[in-house]
């Protein structure tokens, strides 16, 4: 249906903002999260809280063990990089890149969309602060939309088209935060750190924390989450 | 690497033949199977036997619970259609269609290929006996290949291309069987039935059994697997 949307919800700042945008555009939201063996487990707790707070129609958490495939610092026992400067962060594909992660997540969202007869998928990817991940680029998203319309019943029957929405793709982190705040989103519900402490507080030093802190600073706002040091 | 290939191995006739073809072309094979809550559990046992017999380098069985998404007679408690004639089988997308299944499987194979530095993915889809599944069409495969090269490090670095091989796509079931026999494949290792009996014998009446039996008949061969009735 035209007013139904699947929203990929990691529990991070970007996906929470994306969910708030989908709701503000009048979509009935079906949220989808993944338990993929990520070290930042607190994300899933946050995803549940956000889904509840933003009154989604349904929220599924799918378990897919990507550790079996390996190849990333986010799922393997590899140290995540810390205290890198901005140039280092943007220069190369980092070891926190999970092979084909967005392709896998979008594929499941496609299945979920088909079952729920939703014709919209929202994904909070960002081409500016994208940290060099290949599967966050606009050309990747356009290609997935083409694939989605060939892969499903919708595509064969040809009546309606499935659309992939990426409302954050051209926004800076600061613009994303200002958009969320405008929509009334409470960012204390979100989590970004790759390397959180046991009590859930964020390290402030990994690439993800650094991008987040820089975004809040540029937006002229204070990040409401807890860090091990104060920022 | 150019001589490494990921082969999607369900344990069925088509994927086993595809694996035999990849081996005959000199590829070092990394086989990938999925435990996705399919009712035909015997498939996975067969996949293991085939992987062993054909001496693959590595065989991973990934657990992904597609029952949580639902929408198919292969994963839900819906009866599979029985004793349909050929026209009925080919006319529409059947309820045994699992939403976005090949998209999901190919996405994982892409992750596995990236980790193993394989530049080839083999998939046993077939556009002739494809039973109306949208994600078995050549245009779907071509679109996934485009996506794969945008989604991964290979795509960003642009040195090498990832290729999706579908050696069966234009073959009839009889031609597939003759090809496998030519390569020395033992089809008693394969399973096709959607609705097997507890002892593993095939029903002979579901769409998959009917296509298989027709294939062997047209190839002038006797199917070596056990059926509850004799054919």
Specify the pLDDT at position B159: 65
**B143 chain-A contacts, CB cut-off 8 A:** 143, 146-147, 150-151
SS3 (DSSP) at A121: strand
Residue A151 to residue B103, Cβ atoms within 8 A: yes
Instruction: Determine the Cα–Cα distance for residues B145 and A147; give it in Å rounded to an integer.
Output: 10
pLDDT in tens, A105-130: 999 999 999 888 899 999 999 877 55
Specify the pLDDT at position A1: 57
Task: Choose the mutation target among B33, B66, B69 for the interface with A, i.e. most A CBs under 10 Å.
Answer: B69
Residue B156 to residue A102, Cβ atoms within 8 A: no
Q: What is the mean pLDDT of residues A167-182?
A: 96
* Residue-range domains of chain B with CATH: 4-191 (3.40.50.620)
Contact with chain A for residue B110, Cβ under 8 A? yes
Specify the pLDDT at position A31: 97
Specify the pLDDT at position B218: 96
Tell which residue, A18, A26, A58, has the closest CA to residue A165: A18
Q: What is the mean pLDDT of residues A139-164?
A: 83
Specify the pLDDT at position B95: 54
Specify the pLDDT at position A99: 74
SS3 (DSSP) at A104: helix
Nearest-CB residue to B100 (from A64, A111, A140): A111
Specify the pLDDT at position A86: 58
What is the H or E stretch that residue A17 is in? helix A13-24
- In the predicted structure, residue A73 carries a pLDDT above the cut 60: no
- In the predicted structure, residue B214 carries a pLDDT above the cut 70: yes
- In the predicted structure, residue B7 carries a pLDDT above the cut 80: yes
- In the predicted structure, residue B77 carries a pLDDT above the cut 70: no
Minimal C-alpha gap between B185 and chain A (Å): 28
**B152 chain-A contacts, CB cut-off 8 A:** 99-100, 134-135
Long-range contacts of A42-48 (CB under 8 A, 24+ apart): A42/A11, A42/A191, A42/A196, A42/A200, A43/A10, A43/A11, A43/A12, A43/A191, A44/A11, A45/A11, A46/A11, A46/A12, A46/A16, A46/A189, A46/A190, A46/A191, A47/A9, A47/A10, A47/A11, A47/A15
Confidence category of residue A40, pLDDT binned at 50, 70, 90: confident
Residue, of B85 and B224, whose pLDDT is higher: B224
- In the predicted structure, residue B89 carries a pLDDT above the cut 60: no
- In the predicted structure, residue A154 carries a pLDDT above the cut 70: no
Residue, of B143 and A155, whose pLDDT is higher: B143
Specify the pLDDT at position B41: 78
Does residue A225 contact residue A202 with C-beta atoms inside 8 Å?
A: yes
Most confident stretch, A16-30, A110-124, B60-74, B182-196: A16-30
Specify the pLDDT at position A196: 85
Confidence category of residue B222, pLDDT binned at 50, 70, 90: very high
Residue, of B38 and B169, whose pLDDT is higher: B169
Total-model pTM = 0.86
Residue, of A178 and B64, whose pLDDT is higher: A178
Exposed (0-12), middle (13-18) or buried (19+): which is B193, by Cβ within 10 Å? Answer: buried
Q: What is the mean pLDDT of residues B192-212?
A: 88
Most confident stretch, A79-93, A117-131, A204-218: A204-218
Write out the two tokens for B53.
């017999």
- Mean pLDDT of all residues in chain B? 85
Instruction: Determine the Cα–Cα distance for residues A131 and A142; give it in Å rounded to an integer.
Output: 19
Residue, of B103 and A66, whose pLDDT is higher: B103
Tell which residue, A113, A102, A65, has the closest CA to residue B34: A65
Q: Is the ipTM of this complex over 0.95?
A: no
Strand (E) positions, B120-213? Answer: 120-122, 163-165
Specify the pLDDT at position B86: 58
Exposed (0-12), middle (13-18) or buried (19+): which is B168, by Cβ within 10 Å? Answer: buried
Q: What is the mean pLDDT of residues A76-81?
A: 56
Q: What is the mean pLDDT of residues A56-68?
A: 86
Strand (E) positions, A16-100? Answer: 28-35, 58-63
Residue, of B93 and B193, whose pLDDT is higher: B193
Residue, of B128 and B126, whose pLDDT is higher: B126
Q: What is the mean pLDDT of residues A33-61?
A: 90
Specify the pLDDT at position B66: 74
- Mean pLDDT of all residues in chain A? 85
Tell which residue, A141, A100, A99, A152, has the closest CA to residue B102: A152
- In the predicted structure, residue A95 carries a pLDDT above the cut 60: no
Confidence category of residue A55, pLDDT binned at 50, 70, 90: very high
Write out the two tokens for B88.
């009925």
Contact with chain A for residue B34, Cβ under 8 A? no
Specify the pLDDT at position B137: 87
């Amino acid at each position: 249906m035209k007013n139904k949307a699947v929203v990929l919800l990691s529990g991070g700042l970007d996906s929470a903002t994306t969910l708030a945008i989908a709701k503000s555009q009048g979509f009935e939201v079906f949220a989808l999260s993944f338990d993929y063996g990520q070290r930042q487990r607190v994300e899933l707790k946050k995803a549940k809280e956000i889904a509840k707070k933003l009154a989604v129609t349904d929220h599924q958490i799918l378990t897919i063990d990507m550790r079996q495939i390996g190849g990333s610092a986010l799922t393997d026992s590899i140290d995540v990089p810390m205290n890198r400067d901005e140039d280092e962060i943007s220069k190369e594909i980092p070891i926190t890149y999970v092979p084909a992660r967005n392709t896998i997540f979008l594929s499941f969202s496609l299945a979920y969309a088909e079952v729920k007869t939703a014709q919209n998928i929202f994904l909070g990817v960002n081409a500016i602060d994208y940290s060099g991940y290949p599967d966050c680029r606009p050309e990747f998203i356009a290609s997935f939309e083409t694939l989605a319309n060939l892969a499903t019943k919708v595509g064969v029957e040809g009546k309606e088209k499935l659309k992939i929405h990426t409302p954050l793709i051209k926004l800076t982190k600061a613009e994303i935060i200002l958009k969320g705040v405008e929509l009334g989103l409470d960012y204390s519900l979100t989590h970004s750190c790759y390397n959180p402490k046991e009590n859930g507080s964020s390290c402030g030093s990994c690439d993800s924390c650094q991008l987040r802190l820089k975004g809040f600073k540029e937006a002229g706002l204070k990040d409401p989450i807890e860090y091990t040091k104060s920022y």
